[in-house]
Amino acid sequence: MQPTTPKRRQRIIEHCKAWSWLTPSLIGVLVFFIIPFCVVIYYSVLDNPIFANFVGLDNFIKLFSNSAFIRAARNTAIFSVIAVPLSVVLSLWMAFALNSKIPGKSWLRSCFLCPLMVPIASVVLVWQVIFHYHGTLNQITSVFGIEPVDWFKTNWSYFVLTIMFLWKTLGYNMILFMSAIAGIPRDIVEVAQLEGASGWYTFLHIKLRYLSPTILFVTILSIISSFKMFREVYLLTGDYPFESMYLLQHFMNNTFNSLDYQKLSSAAVLLSVVMVILIGIMFLIERKFGEDVEE
């Protein structure tokens, strides 16, 4: 028997099998996302779709002198940079705090998961009542003699946005962390404590390492939901909110409605480049930090 030919044939068969599982989804992803995205890249270096002159990076340079884009990008960046880490760190802290024996844990858990499941549109009314100029929050602060604040129309809107984001994400992130904490091997922690490691050391070098895949996962979920905060903002304030709430998504939507494809495509390309770099960095950090615990 010749060892090479059947082996090779088997490998080819394996390959075919593997691809046959992936093909249906791959076709859809190619047709609906990848191929049109290539067209978007193509649009982003043209002056307009009809004459189709190559203009290089002109559209991108124009984008950077567009004040609406700059404001939208800055607002989105500030919000994400504050809100996502805040949500991850706070939920990790809460998970450690709640990890001890507490009565009624499953009831508490249901409460924490509730914001995840309730449709945004359903609670938008309540947010409006709370943050309205004549709303609940201002009534409470006025008791302490604090001037009423127009939460949606001043720079406080960052704060409002962050609160709504935390309300929505904290509970679920915390639940994910709690079950991850339960999965940390206890013997390793105990050995470290016996050898005199400080609480801080065990936390940083043992617990955090075991949690790093979950931290990455929670961060990914939080980033996704931070982009979806546009929905809340849209439902609360419409197409043109106050400028500190004007997000990249507003910019894209409004550009879309004015049919400026060049501006839109270059913004989309730019945003995706930034995202790819960020995601790459995140995965590198996770790989480096958690490498000891990977099997």
Partner 1 sequence: MIQLRSPKVREHFLTALLFILALLAAILFILPTVLTISNSFMSEKEITANYGAMIESATADKKTYISEELNLKFIPDKVSFSQYASVLFKSPDYLLKFWNSVILVVPITVFQILLAAFTAYGFSRYRGRIREIIFFMYIILMLMPYQVTLVPNYLVSDWLGILGTRWAIILPGIFSPFSVYLLTKVMRRIPKAYYEAARLDGASEFQIFWHICLPLTRSAMLSVGLLVFIDYWNMVEQPLILLKDQDQFPLSVFLSQINSGDVGLAFAVAVVYMIPALLLFLYGEEYLVEGITYSGGVKG
Report the residue from 62, 230, 285, 289 that binds partner 1 according to the rule CB under 8 A.
230
- Residues 6+ away with beta carbon under 8 Å from 86: 162, 166
Ramachandran class of 52: left when φ > 0, alpha when ψ lies in -120 to 50, beta otherwise: left
Report the residue from 69, 151, 165, 210 that binds partner 1 according to the rule CB under 8 A.
210
Report the residue from 12, 39, 52, 61 that binds partner 1 according to the rule CB under 8 A.
39
Q: Which is nearer to partner 1, 19 or 201 (CB)?
A: 19
Using CB under 8 A as the binding rule, whether residue 231 contacts partner 1 is answered as yes
Q: Are 207 and 145 in contact (CB under 8 A)?
A: no
Q: Which is nearer to partner 1, 61 or 274 (CB)?
A: 274
Using CB under 8 A as the binding rule, whether residue 90 contacts partner 1 is answered as no
- Residues 6+ away with beta carbon under 8 Å from 282: 216, 219, 220
3-state class of 184 per DSSP? coil
Stretch that binds partner 1, among 52-60, 61-69, 103-111, 189-197 (CB under 8 A): 103-111
Report the residue from 63, 73, 245, 248 that binds partner 1 according to the rule CB under 8 A.
248
Q: How far is the CB of 167 from partner 1 (least distance, A)?
A: 7
Q: Which is nearer to partner 1, 113 or 197 (CB)?
A: 113
Q: How far apart are CA 251 and CA 70, in angstroms?
A: 10
Q: Which of residues 178-207 bind partner 1 (CB under 8 A)?
A: 179-180, 183, 185
Q: Which is nearer to partner 1, 15 or 155 (CB)?
A: 15
Q: Which of residues 250-269 bind partner 1 (CB under 8 A)?
A: 252-253, 256, 261, 264-265, 268
DSSP codes joined into one string, 197-230 = --HHHIIIIIIHHHHHHHHHHHHHHHHHHHHTHH
How is residue 286 written in tokens?
């996770």
CA 234 to chain centre: 18
Q: Which is nearer to partner 1, 2 or 259 (CB)?
A: 259
Report the residue from 92, 176, 206, 245 that binds partner 1 according to the rule CB under 8 A.
176
Report the residue from 227, 260, 285, 289 that binds partner 1 according to the rule CB under 8 A.
227
In this structure, what is the dihedral angle of CA atoms 246, 247, 252, 256, given to the nearest 10 degrees?
-30
Q: Which of residues 111-170 bind partner 1 (CB under 8 A)?
A: 111-130, 132-136, 139, 167, 170
Using CB under 8 A as the binding rule, whether residue 171 contacts partner 1 is answered as yes
Q: How far apart are CA 241 and CA 158, in angstroms?
A: 12
Q: How far is the CB of 150 from partner 1 (least distance, A)?
A: 10
Q: Are 88 and 222 in contact (CB under 8 A)?
A: yes
Q: How far apart are CA 259 and CA 269, in angstroms?
A: 17
How many chain residues touch partner 1 (CB under 8 A)?
A: 102
Q: Which of residues 17-36 bind partner 1 (CB under 8 A)?
A: 17-22, 24-26, 28-29, 31-36
